[in-house]
Amino acid sequence: MPVISFKKNRTPITVENGANLMEALLKGGLPVASSCSGDGVCAKCRIQIVSGAENLSSENETEKFLRETKKVAPDNRISCQVEVLGDVTVDATYW
C-alpha cells in the first residue's frame, strides 16, 4: 500500500493503491484548500510534490486545463484529480 509522506514533520499516511490524493489527505486529518469540493474547478487544492511524482496518475484533461488557466507551478498537482499509485512526499503552504 502506498505511503504519503510530508516534507514537514507529520506522520505519514498509508492509503489504498489508486486513492484520490485530496480525499486521502482529508481522511488523514489534513486541511486541503478547495472552494469546489473537489469538482476540479478551482485548483485551490494544489499540492507540491516533493518526491515520487512518478507514483501518481498522469494528468487528466481537467488537470491540464487547470494547470494552464490557473497558472499552477510545474511541481504542483491538483490533488482532487490525482490518484496515488505508489509512495510520494508532499507539501502545502498552509500546513
Cα–Cα distance measured from residue 27 to residue 53, given in angstroms and rounded to the nearest whole number: 21
Cα–Cα distance measured from residue 55 to residue 59, given in angstroms and rounded to the nearest whole number: 12
Grid cell, residue 16, equals 489504498
- Provide the whole-model pTM: 0.95
Per-residue pLDDT tens over the stretch 31-87: 999 999 999 999 999 999 999 999 999 999 999 999 999 999 999 999 999 999 999
Half-sphere exposure of 5 (CA within 13 A, CB side): 10
